[in-house]
Amino acid sequence: MRLLYFLVLLLLATDTALPATRKARKKRSKKKIEVVLPTPIQPTPAPITAEQADKPTTKTSTPELTPRMKPAVDLSPAQADSLLAEWRERQRSETFKTFFEQYILIDSTTITDNTPDSVYINRLRKIVSPIQLPYNAIVKAHISRYTQPAHTGLISRVLGMSQYYFPIIEEELLKADLPVELRALPIIESALSTNAVSPMGAVGLWQFMPTTGKSYGLEINSLVDERRDPVRSTQAACRFLKDLYNIYNDWTLAIAAYNCGPGNVNKALARSGGKTFWEIYDWLPRETRGYVPAFIGATYAYTYHQQHNVEPTPAPLPLAVDTIRINRLLHFGQVASTIDLPIETLRALNPQYKLDIVPATTKTYTLVLPQQHIAQYITHEQEIFAKDSAYLKEYINPANIDKKRAERTGSIYVVRRGDTLGAIARRYRVSTAQLMRWNKIRNPRALRIGQRLRIEGR
């Protein structure tokens, strides 16, 4: 009994103690747990010297960003255009060099008079193209013509101009799905001169006659001649060449037909009974016989100029350009006098406008400007067009138009080192006698470097 009584008392004592224990636990759980992080150790500052104490304190700031480092939002339109122009110029130059350094420098054979034909044959074979580039004595003569020291001045100038014109030409050839090697045709047609005029009246890079040019959509009138426009004339040439290839299914015959017309090629095919250019060679007009070999020679000289120690002249035009759409009558003088852009640059970039006038009255036209002047033009556009009465009033009178046309007809060539009167005459498809008559030259060998020669238009 005592044991049972003791157990009952023990249970009662335990039950009364439990609530107090629970309350204590609740109070402990409400306490906030604080984690104390160690204080970071600060480096002991170096003692200040007497010289430092005497110097005035300066406010520290981040270094000023150069224009190239600044975020785009901080750039003005003119700065953005300047950077874009610099990038495009560098890209064009590097692309030009890379093409020859990485893809063309196949061998380092020094060309001499005793160089075996196998060197030329091997190099032509390595220009992989849908256009056949065979080697024979006739082709060798044209290669020598382009690469001999006496004639390398022409290739040097062509290489310089090709940095501007070839990207335009190649882009259109690729769009038309035509061989890129056709870019050499304007070399033998015009030496890459948009102002080239033949004695027969063919004009521009691709030497279109008026009838052929119009049939392929080129605008030719008193104020505009798109045969001189590098983009529009190349587009027309692509359509013409594609049509010729569809007739013959042979690029050498198509190239020959580009020179003398498909009618003459058809006559040579009929008379000779042959089917290739070389089989009908003797039945073609004399100029056309040399046309395909000249094309091969120009292709070789352009591709392998470094192996012949020919260096390109500097590009004569800015490599970074852009276009503006013009929907009002505009004279080049309005632009040149407002944004400080030489009118000669406007003429070189827009050779299709014969009288310095963009005749945008019923349709829009393009105006090509250096990239770094695009933002300037846009900013001052209203000011430019406000000058129309000052620059265009003299063209309202037809007599003034005839006068200006006479002043602008033809070209001016500045004589350079190594030039001869005969070479200049061949370049512009005129005779030496004509050059002498137009410029009152008595001695054809008495040319001076820097002398300005007038080449009359046709």
Active site residues: 189
Q: Which residues contact 433 (CB under 8 A, 6 or more apart)?
A: none
Closest alpha carbon to 316 in 165, 418, 173: 165
For 114, 163, 174, 224, 387, the CA distances from 228, given in Å and listed in that order, are 42, 18, 21, 9, 27
Phi, psi of 76 (to 5 degrees): -80, 160
Rounded CA separation 346/19 (Å): 101
Sole residue written with tokens 């104390």: 36
Query: Is residue 239 within 8 Å of 173, Cβ to Cβ?
Result: no
Rounded CA separation 432/420 (Å): 10
Q: b/e string for 313-351 if b means 16 or more Cβ within 10 A?
A: eebeebbbbbebebeebbbbbbbbbbbebeeebbbbbbb
Query: Is residue 140 within 8 Å of 293, Cβ to Cβ?
Result: no
Q: Which residues contact 428 (CB under 8 A, 6 or more apart)?
A: 193, 196, 197, 411, 413, 455
Long-range (24+ apart) CB contacts under 8 A made by 348-351 are 348/316, 348/317, 349/317, 349/318, 349/321, 351/194, 351/195, 351/228, 351/229
Task: Report the DSSP pairing between strands 365-370 and 321-326.
Answer: antiparallel
Closest alpha carbon to 315 in 102, 99, 158: 158
Closest alpha carbon to 411 in 373, 361, 453: 453
Sole residue written with tokens 């799905």: 177
Q: Which residues contact 153 (CB under 8 A, 6 or more apart)?
A: 416, 417, 418, 419, 423
- Computed from CA positions of residues 49, 51, 52, 53, in that sequence, does the dihedral angle turn out positive or negative? positive
Please give the single-letter amino acid code of residue 414. Answer: V
Query: Is residue 333 within 8 Å of 356, Cβ to Cβ?
Result: yes
Rounded CA separation 208/189 (Å): 10
